[in-house]
Each structure stands twice: as structure tokens, then as C-alpha cells.
A and B are shown apart, each in its own frame.
Chain A
Amino acid sequence: MTVKLINKDRFNVFLERLASGNELVAPIEEDGNIFYRRVTSVNEITLEADAFCFAPKGHFFPQYEVLYKYQQGSNALVLEEPGPAGPSVLLGVKPCDARALLSLDPVFDGNYKDAYYLDKRVKTTIIGLSCRKVRYNCFCRAFGFGPTSGEGADLFLTEVKDGYLAEALTSKGEALLKDYSDLFTETGVDGALQEKEQLAVQLDTQFKRKVDLDGVKARLDNMFEHPYWERLARKCLTCGICTFVCPTCHCFDIIDENGGGSNCGSRLRCWDACMFTDFTLHTSGHNPRPGKKERVRNRFMHKLKYHLDRYRVTGCVGCGRCIEKCPVNMDIIQVIAEIKEVG
């Protein structure tokens, strides 16, 4: 593993060059929201230490994407697939979001290989960044990693006094350091590594909310019919916020849209959420999750049990986004504690 250092001035040059040679995707602010978007000018990039930022999952799994276009020709149906993705760099990815990709991978890269996700996944280099502040609802620590863990990133940065420490964690990361070797140096790496350790210790004291997952899965294994869900679900509005902001939620619906000429159209996939009334609605009219209780239960079961059952990785990474954005204060940290009380 190569470890190097880059100073602040050179870091800006690094960004400039990344943006000119690749599709660079980084956090960009708009009307008080921070989204991962394609960078047109590096001045737009916000690597703010203490702001809510939407997850970057849309880079691999966009809110909507064309699977193929169709056209009824004179004697055959002509299908046209979208071209392959170009190489891209995702910059400033938080440890929880990098970890979340490791929870998404087995879904799209399991028995069924999802060409659309995998194409972008393979062609994207992920530059992670240590957090510089722990937000109130962060609880990544409960999942065995923390604000300075690079797992899931290719190159992992940590802001230090003199710039950024850069750790190459995969061959893609190594390649990046090699390509830009004129900007990175080895001098000062030891000091920077020590600084990173101190940062880790200091950030560890910033976690405010105590979360202990021990025994939660075992209780959920027997809680499907528990009256708790009915009570918990009452306040839920069954909107899509918690699932849309979640870095590991991955449900989609496939739709056809005619248009763009006669006898043609496209097949799209769009984000879906188990909170919606038409989610997995059967043609017969039967709905396996007819009400709030079933929907809310499904989300928490999926986050804390089903994903583990299926893939042996957690379906939640403790980013706290669903807590922060839920309009009724449905709080997964509180739910975890309550499961342990009632289960």
C-alpha cells in the first residue's frame, strides 16, 4: 500500500487535472443542499466538514436511467442499448458511503449481474475522505468502522495540517498516485499518519448517541408478528424520504415510456421504495405490504436483518441520514434500542 502526502496548493492542481481528464463527480451545493454532481469547475466543490450531504449512490444507480430504447422498424423491433459509461472519479466520499457500496455490491453483483450498475462501478475510481466532524446522528461506529476508515475507497484522503494524506487501498488507487506522482510526495508521511491517528481518537469522542447492535438481529428473527410494528408505524407518513436518502437502499421499478417519435420509446428504471402504496403491488390487486405497519417493518427488517441474512453484510451503515431527514422523527437509533427492549 502506497501512502503519500499532497499539500493544499497541489491538491487544487490535482482537482483541476482530475476534472479535465475525467468525469469528476463531487459534492456541490445548491440552495442549501449538497449533492454529488458532475464538476464543471473545481470551485463548485464543497468538501465541507459539517454539512448534510446526500449519498453518492446515484452515480452508480441513478434515480432514473434508460435501459434501452426501442423502435418498431418495418419488419422488426430495433433495440438500442445505451453506450458504456466513461471512466469517472468520485471525490470526497465519506467512510459510511464507501462502506455502503460494499453493501450494494452483492445486490447488483450477485447471482444476477446488473450490467448497468457494474459498468459504472468498475469504471469509477473512488476517492474517500476522512470525516472531520462527527454529526449528531452518525453511528457508523456501531457497524465496526469509523470516520477515518477507508474500506470501500480506492484512494483514501485525510485532511492534515499540511494538506492531505493519501492512502492507496486498491490497484485503482495505486494507479491514481502513479499518474499524478508529480503532485504527491513521501516527505512528511509519517507525521501525517500520526495526525490521522490523533484525528481518529478525537473523532471517536464526538459520538453522542450510544448504539449497541448486539442481539438486535437475533431478536428481529422472531419479531415479524410483534405488536411493536403497529405502534411504531403510526407516525410514519410513508413518504420515500428515508429510503431515497439511504446510501444502501436499492429498490427500483421498470417502466416503458413511448415517445420521441412514432412507434418508439424507452425502457427505464426508476428508484422505488417499500414505503409506497404501489411497491410490489401484484397484478391481482393483492399487496403483500398493504399498510404502514408492513411497510415500516419491512424497512427496518431489511436494514437490520434481511440484508444480513442474504449477503452477510449489514443493510445499514449508520450514516444517520434517514434520522435527519425524516419529517416525523422516525429514528433508527431509537428503534434499535426499542427492539432490544420489546423483542
Chain B
Amino acid sequence: MKQIVDRLRQEAARLLAAGDVAMVIGYAKGTDVARTTPYFATNEEEAQNLTWNPFCTNNLVKYLLDFRFEDTKLAVVVKGCDSKGINRLIYDRQFPRERVVVLGVPCGGLLDRSKVLATIDPGAELQSVEDLGQEFVVRTDHGEFTFAKEQYLLPKCAVCRNPNPVISDVLLGEELPVAEEEKSDTFDDIVEMEALDPAAKSAFWDRHFNRCLRCYACRNVCPACNCRECAFEQAVPGWQQEACWLSKKASVDNNYTFHLIRMFDVTGRCIDCGECERVCPVNIPLRKLYRKVIKDVQELFGDTTPGLNIGDGLPLTSYRKEDPEEFM
């Protein structure tokens, strides 16, 4: 990991010094041992604060949109999963390819923060992390800890098929081998849900949606949610709320509407980076929704997970003669 960190700082400093980019969006040390924070380096000195370790969970791609109406060039650090978000923004014409330098990290997986914090004191100072393939060795001022990946990876990382960025300008480490059997998604989580009877499914989602706070963190972090104005935040006065798609009242029926609209909006577009589920403050299993539609689209149109390449048409917005139409 040290090599990646050194390479990252070097590359960021070089890009900033040469004026190739105005800013490098990456990660810096967070406020507890198992956390990092998004960081925006604007000069060589700040580039030295950039870091890389298995706590770099945030997908940073969404920040590009904050600069979409400017003309500066930016660099952004991406893992395999995040990199699909770059393709999403390019395909959606939200950010031009020529304005972004993609710093790709072949990713050995992320550690599950809550599991790690059950072992290491959150106040410990992170000194270094080494990726030994099957395990991470985490060195802190409170001692050295070994975390077997099998047990400590985030669920999404345990089944990751794209640890290597699918798009990158500078690769900050050696490409990782991916076993052939790991390359296709078996959707076990979705198959399990599909097997439930309708009443059980309904009870499941009632319970989860009922506690949605409608904080919109899931939307705000999502690279596929890139509309300038959102259907859920229409600028109308209170007495005209009726004209909106959705009322502010966070009741279970409205929350269903919110979640199902969002699900349809990201159909064929969700890159399955899992950020929505991570940021949700009330643990709603959102990936189950979006992975269901990924699976459906795959079965109907044979597309793979969106974002693997820039693409030449999305299943739901393009027309092909051979598209299924048994419902017509």
C-alpha cells in the first residue's frame, strides 16, 4: 500500500505543479482509525495529505458534478467500482472525458469499518496498512492487527468482480488478477429475495421504507442521480405540493414512491458501487432494489452491469430491433 500512496502523492503533485489539473480529488486521513475523508488537493503541498488504504470507502466521482459548469480540469482517485461512475458521467454527458484525469487504484478490497472498530480503539493512530493478498496487516500506535479478508471485507468487496478500474489514465499499482469464476454475478442476494412470497416481500419493504428519513443521502452520493433538478425537490410553495411527484411527508406510502421512482430512474444506469447502502443512516438494504433491476435488465437485454464501458446506448433509452417485446 505504501507504494500506492507514494505513487499517488507523486502523481498528484506532478499534475498540480504542471498545472495539468486544478485539483486532485482523493482521500485523506479521517477522524478515527477506520475512516478516511474526501480531500481536495489544490497544490503540491496538499498533495502530500492524500492517502490510500482499505478505509477509502467513498465513491468520489460524484464530486465532479460540483464542477460540471466550470472549465477546469480535475483529477480523481477511483477504485474499480467507482471507476464505472466515470463512464456513467461521460455517457450521460455530465462531465467531458477530456476534463478529467482518472487516477485508478487496483483495489484489494475495503475493510468493514464496524468490524474493525470492534477490534481497534477508534482513537488509535493509523500508521500503515499492508495488503498481503488474503489479509491486511494494519499497524497503529496501539499495535499491529491482522484482518483476514474472508472475514473482514465489506460484503460488496467480498464478491467484487472489478477490482481494477475499468477506465483510468494513470494506474497507481499493479493490476490484480481476477479469477474466471469471479467474473460473473450470480445475484444470490436477489434470487433469495425473489423466492419470498409477495406478502413477505411487502412486509420486508414496509418495515424498511417506514423508517426512511428522506435525507436523500442515497441520491446525493449516487453517480447515476445526476439531474440538475430532482423530481423530489420541486421548487414549489407548500400549498402547491400537490403538483409534485412526491410530498415531503415521509410516510411509508410516500417513501415507497420515492424509492420506486429512484429505482426506475437508475434502471440500466446504476453502476452498483454500493454507496447508497453505505451512506443510509438507517440501514435500508437499497442495493437489493437496484440489483434486482440490474438482474432484470441483464436477463431481458443481455447487458452487463452499467458503466463497464462508456457504452453505446442504454437498454431503456435506446432501440434495437432484437429487443424483447413479448408484452406488446
Instruction: Using CB atoms and an 8 Å cutoff, list the residues of chain A in contact with chain B.
Output: 30-33, 35, 63-64, 136, 208-209, 231, 234-235, 237-241, 244-245, 253-258, 268, 270-273, 276-278, 281, 283, 285, 292, 323, 325, 327-331, 333-334
Contact = CB atoms under 8 A, between A and B. Distances in A.
The 9 tightest CB contacts between A and B, nearest first, are A239-B217, A240-B215, A327-B279, A329-B37, A235-B38, A255-B238, A136-B122, A237-B220, A270-B248
A283 B283 contact: no
Interface in B17-42: 30-32, 35-40
B249 A278 contact: no
A115 B241 CA distance: 24
B220 A334 contact: no
A33 B238 contact: no
B281 A325 contact: yes
A259 to B, nearest CB: 9
Given A63-B213, A64-B250, A256-B242, A244 B123 contact: no
Interface in B265-287: 278-279, 281-283
A245 B281 contact: yes
A257 B249 contact: yes
Nearest to A277: B233
B63 A234 contact: yes
B215 A234 contact: no
Nearest to B29: A329
B220 A239 contact: yes
Contact of A32 (B121, B213, B214, B283): B283
Nearest to B236: A278
Contact of A244 (B39, B63, B213): B213
A245 B221 CA distance: 18
A240 B216 contact: yes
Contacts of A32: 283
A330 B35 CA distance: 11
Contacts of A31: 207-208, 283
Contacts, number: 117
Contacts of A244: 213, 215, 281
Contact of A327 (B58, B214, B234): B58
B164 to A, nearest CB: 25
A237 B213 CA distance: 16
Contact of A237 (B37, B214, B217, B251): B217
B242 A64 contact: no
Contacts of B238: 253-256
A330 B238 CA distance: 31
Contacts of A273: 215
Q: Of A209, A244, A272, A327, which is in contact with the most chain B CB atoms at under 10 Å from its CB?
A: A327
Nearest to A334: B31
B37 A328 contact: yes
A317 to B, nearest CB: 19
B200 interface: no
Nearest to B212: A63
Contacts of B198: none
A64 B249 contact: yes
Given A32-B283, A258-B242, A327 B30 contact: no
Nearest to A240: B215
A64 B58 contact: no
B235 interface: yes
Contacts of B63: 234-235
B304 to A, nearest CB: 28
A234 B37 CA distance: 11
Contacts of A325: 281
Contact of B58 (A208, A271, A328, A333): A328
A208 B235 CA distance: 44
B312 interface: no
B211 interface: yes
B298 interface: no
Contacts of A63: 213, 250
Nearest to A331: B31
